[in-house]
Amino acid sequence: MNVAEAVATRRSVRAFLDQTVPLETIERVLDRARMAPSGCNFQPWEAHVLTGSALKDLQAKLLASAPDDPLEYDFSAPGQVEKYQNRLRAVGAAMYGAMGILRDDAEARHKFMTSNLTSFGAPVLLLCHFPKLMKEPQWSDVGMWLQTIMLLLREEGLDSCPQEFMGMFGRTIKAHLGLGDDVLLFCGLAIGWRDESSPVNAFPRERVALADHVRFVGFD
């Protein structure tokens, strides 16, 4: 698989097969991802990678916990702007529509939302965190590291789902992992084998046209 194929086939997978992922595969991916770009070579990313009973123990705690109040960071602020709200609504309509969940079916929507806490059945969960002293440039570095991991996972035939949702339970997760309050729990990354039969893994994903967000200047 080349890079273009990895980019094209990567998607946020929300239904995984009940199939283990070898430790050596995860180690190989994360070792290669160390070469992701990093301003000033700070390499701000840190992570815990859970599977098996360790993952089940965390999931049981999350299912019994409420989200942080207040949240340690807000990932939904752009939704206050109509342009971004429309994009959110479009992907939500496509996703729930693929599963046959109607807009007014609050119970089914809540059940699916809760499946975030078990990472949609993924056998591996990477929990990404970093010291709170890191600022916006380092957050960007962490994003590039995560994208590198996701593309390398595709090369291995694996899939993933980045979960900012986990940031809503940051304090619970940090306490479970023994991390201090000087650390920010940024997100989870569900990792596993895609369930090709699940409609939630097949709905079309809209992207705006290139001309809507890129301007080319000075080209002949």
Model pLDDT for residues 108-162, shown as the tens digit of each residue: 999 999 999 999 999 999 999 999 999 999 999 999 999 999 999 999 999 999 9
Query: Rounded to whole angstroms, how far apart are CA atoms 162 and 182?
Result: 23
Query: Rounded to whole angstroms, how far apart are CA atoms 80 and 101?
Result: 25
Q: Is residue 42 part of a domain?
A: yes
Domain of 43, CATH number, reads 3.40.109.10
Distance of CA 18 to the CA centre of its chain: 19
Q: Is residue 220 part of a domain?
A: no
Give the β-pairing of 159-163 and 183-192. Answer: antiparallel
Q: Work out how many domains the chain is built from and give that number.
A: 1
Report angle CA 25, 35, 76 to the nearest 5 degrees.
85
What pLDDT band is residue 169 in, cutting at 50, 70 and 90? very high
Assess whether pLDDT exceeds 90 at residue 196: yes
Q: What is the predicted pLDDT for the residue at 86?
A: 93
Q: Which residues contact 159 (CB under 8 A, 6 or more apart)?
A: 10, 11, 13, 16, 153, 191, 192, 193, 194
Answer yes or no: are the C-beta atoms of 147 and 18 closer than 8 Å: no
Q: Is residue 143 part of a domain?
A: yes
Q: Is residue 90 part of a domain?
A: no
Q: Is residue 104 part of a domain?
A: no
Q: Is residue 112 part of a domain?
A: no
Q: What is the predicted pLDDT for the residue at 220?
A: 85
Q: State the residue range of the domain holding 162.
A: 3-75+119-198
The structure's pTM equals 0.95
> Per residue in 44-101, pLDDT tens?
999 999 999 999 999 999 999 999 999 999 988 999 999 999 999 999 999 999 999 9
Q: Is residue 219 part of a domain?
A: no
Q: Is residue 13 part of a domain?
A: yes
